[in-house]
Amino acid sequence: MKASKRIIGLSLLVVGLVWAWIAGCSDPVLLKGGNECYGNTGPQIGNLVLLINDQAAEGDVVVQQSDELQLWFEYIDPDCNLAGGDIWLQQDDTQFVRVASLPDDLPCRGSGEGRGYGYVLPLQGLEAADHTFVLGVSDACGSQSDTLDGAFTLQGGDDDTTDDDSDDDSADDDTFDGGLLRNGDFELGHQDWIENPTGSIISKFSLIMPPFSGNYAAIFGRSDQAIENLAQNIKIPTGTTSLTLQFELIILSDEPVGGNHHDTLNVELLDFTDTVIVNFYNFSDVDEWASWKKHTKQVDLPGYGGQTVKLRFRSHSDQDDKLTYFEIDDVALFND
């Protein structure tokens, strides 16, 4: 059965909200009784467009595993508090799950003149078949929007037949296989990763040590930021009972041996409520200095097939004058 793209054109020129666009955005929700969400109005979304590799799809939407499928939509947020909210997705008649957080700097105005927001739907782990989805958002107060639905056909599988066991660390990662992860080698920069704060993913030319491979790596440990997160949402294939995580890590620190050693890095897997379900690793600034090392760990994960989880690298700094860098590269997650 051919999948048909269903685009719901929700009129975003609602007469009662025209004043919001004239002003650029509405005033924040008025405080009453100490409740900043008193009288909050839920957001509206519409004008869904499916983008395949940044090109608007027309007719039946057909994608390959190697494509990027982005769900682009416009929004109206009367209370200007959609920033920091969440994106919710229902795929193939499963339950709704939270798949991503909306950025804290999301503009109030998201309608017209190219404005809006795009969510990249992970294709890794999906079967080659017809797929449907329902998309919604919620604002910072938890108020939910209306929903948009669509469909696409995924053809073929992962056609990468190149040798991924190359020992040439200076290669450009053309053969890298991230498994369920997208852009695990950071060759596409920030794409597919959620940074908080932004700027965690940087060019190799900014690193103190040469990168493990490729053009990009991730860096943590800025002294002015106590907590830094780098995360990616992953759809777990149905029937998965265990996961294997792999990544390269180098730790560079000004903290002397025998010092306080408060700078740490946690590598975790979270469910859609942001509850930690797996703690892969805990590193500190005394571990394995100044050389890249590969880490591999397999964990049992029954009961999460078909759900969306989040892989998160979370650094914590004591914010003293001893700076620690936790740099990662070639992150991969495989299901078993």
* DSSP tag of 22: H
- Asked if the structure places residue 225 within a domain, the reply is yes
pLDDT at 311 exceeding the cut of 70:
yes
Number of domains in the chain: 2
For residue 127, give its domain range.
15-155
In the listed set 105, 136, 155, which residue is the last one of a domain according to the structure?
A: 155
Q: Each residue of 184-197: pLDDT tens digit?
A: 988 888 888 988 88
122 and 46 together in one domain: yes
Same domain, 200 and 138: no
pTM to 2 decimal places: 0.52
Q: Are residues 93 and 215 in the same domain?
A: no
Residue with tokens 């027309």: 58
State the amino acid at position 332 in one-letter form: A
17 φ, ψ to 5°?
Answer: -115, 5
Q: What is the mean pLDDT of the chain?
A: 78
pLDDT band of residue 218 (cuts 50, 70, 90) is confident
| Domain shared by 120 and 59, yes or no | yes
Lowest model confidence (mean pLDDT) among 104-108, 257-261, 281-285: 257-261
**229 lies in the same domain as 313:** yes
Residue 304 lies in a domain: yes
In this structure, are 205 and 142 located in the same domain?
Answer: no
Strand partners for 253: 324
Integer Cα distance of 310 and 277 in angstroms: 10
- The answer to whether residue 214 is domain-embedded is yes
183 in a domain, yes or no? no
Q: How confident is the model at residue 27 (pLDDT cuts 50, 70, 90)?
A: very low
| Same domain assignment for residues 93 and 214 | no
Indicate whether 8 belongs to any domain.
no
Tens digits of residue pLDDT in 34-79: 467 888 989 999 999 999 988 899 889 999 888 889 999 999 998 9
pLDDT of 149: 94
Q: Are 316 and 335 in contact (CB under 8 A)?
A: no
- 148: domain CATH number is 2.60.40.10
The pairing of strands 130-138 and 264-270 is unpaired
Q: Based on the fold, state whether residues 232 and 330 are members of the same structural domain.
A: yes
The reported pLDDT for the residue numbered 139 is: 92
CATH, residue 245:
2.60.120.200
Tokens of 202: 């940087």
| Structural domain contains residue 314 | yes
